[in-house]
């Protein structure tokens, strides 16, 4: 089977990471995969913020949980109340992707960059998990204090994040795919 297709089929969301930091060369490869993603009219409306500071990651997680506990959404509220939950699953590296507010396709373009990075991580046998919850904090009034600390440029909105690290466990079996999700017109 083609190596790229094998990586696509074998990638799983990893939520258990070893504590050691990924090496710099692997991180560069993952980020480069992100910047080579397609984007509408090649605007490349993304900005990547790499966070490897454990104290900051823990503060972000606690601030998210504090905000989540106030949510009217029952699921989000339960997540915030879970003492063991860490929004980044204690990954040693987190990559935040922010998108240019003036670009109508920023969310889609940043999603393409995210998927490229997740596949690159898998190709390097590094675990990853797409994290959506952190946008709940960083795009809120309570999260504004973090934007400067994270170096998110003015005029950009935090859209996606990835937890990255060496896998503590290997998950190889994919859940069954939904049936009847393809329609052909020939």
- Model pLDDT for residues 115-129, shown as the tens digit of each residue: 999 999 999 999 999
- Model pLDDT for residues 9-65, shown as the tens digit of each residue: 999 999 999 999 999 999 999 999 999 999 999 999 999 999 999 999 999 999 999
Q: Is the pLDDT at 169 greater than 90, yes or no?
A: no
Q: If you average pLDDT over every residue of the chain, what do you get?
A: 95
Instruction: Go through the chain and tell me how many residues it has.
Output: 186
Residues 6+ apart with CB under 8 A from 16: 89, 127, 167, 168, 169
pLDDT of residue 173: 74
pLDDT of residue 21: 97
Contact 170, 142 (CB under 8 A): no
Separation CA 142–CA 136 (nearest Å): 10
Domains and CATH numbers, the chain: 3-165 (3.40.109.10)
> Against a cut of 0.85, is the pTM above it?
yes
Helical pair 74-81 and 54-68, crossing angle rounded to 10 deg = 130
């Amino acid at each position: 089977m083609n190596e790229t297709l094998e990586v696509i089929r074998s990638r799983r969301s990893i939520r258990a990471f070893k504590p050691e930091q990924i090496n710099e060369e692997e991180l560069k490869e993952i980020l480069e995969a992100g910047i080579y993603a397609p984007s509408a009219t090649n605007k490349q409306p993304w900005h990547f913020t790499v966070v490897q500071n454990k104290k900051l990651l823990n503060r972000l997680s606690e601030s998210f949980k504090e905000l989540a506990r106030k949510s009217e959404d029952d699921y989000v509220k339960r997540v915030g109340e879970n003492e063991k939950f860490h929004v980044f699953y204690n990954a040693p590296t987190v990559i935040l992707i922010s998108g240019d507010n003036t670009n109508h396709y920023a969310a889609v373009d940043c999603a393409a960059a995210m998927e490229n990075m997740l596949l690159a991580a898998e190709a390097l046998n590094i675990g990853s998990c797409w994290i959506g919850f952190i946008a709940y904090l960083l795009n809120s009034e309570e999260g504004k204090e973090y934007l400067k600390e994270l170096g998110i440029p003015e005029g950009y909105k935090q859209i996606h994040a990835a937890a990255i690290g060496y896998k503590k466990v290997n998950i190889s079996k994919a859940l069954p795919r939904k049936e009847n999700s393809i329609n052909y017109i020939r």
